[in-house]
Amino acid sequence: MGVFVAQVRPRWSDMDLYGHVNHARTVTLLEEARIQLLFAEAARHGAEDMARGLVVARLVVDYHAPLLADGREIRVEMAVREMRAASFVLDYNVHCGPSESDSLAATAETMLVTYDTTATRPRRLSEAERDFLAAWRAESV
């Protein structure tokens, strides 16, 4: 499969004084896209345990163009770059609109750790989670 594509819609309230979607709201849009992949899509493929405990250990966002709340959805492409025993890195390309041809607004990466909320500590990826993530593995988005 390689790259998962999510469509999310910035809201009017996401914009800052300069008319751009601000950093905190951009991070929220990344989260909304990530949920489509790691919760909804994962559950469809038998990896529903992922939704029971995941934490963001690291987040990096690089901006390339302003992201606007103009009523259109934006395209968020995601791919798994790296997997370890209890973590993985997800890469993102965020486009200014819904199409692959829309300009690139941001690139980002998150390191996510599978987490046991009962024991309050990281846990190993299950075989189902590994298989699911491997299907979305790519060299880069």
Q: Rounded to an integer, what distance in angstroms lies between the CA atom of residue 135 and that of residue 80?
A: 9
pLDDT < 50 regions, the chain? 140
What predicted TM-score, i.e. pTM, was given to this entire model? Answer: 0.93
Strand partners, 90: 80, 110
- The identity of residue 2, as a single letter, is G
Distance from the Cα of residue 122 to its chain's centroid? 20
Contact in structure between 135 and 41 (CB atoms under 8 Å)? no
Mean pLDDT of the chain: 94
pLDDT tens digits, 122-139: 999 999 999 999 999 985
- The identity of residue 63, as a single letter, is Y
Confidence (pLDDT) at 4 = 97
Confidence (pLDDT) at 19 = 85
Domains of the chain: 4-135 (3.10.129.10)
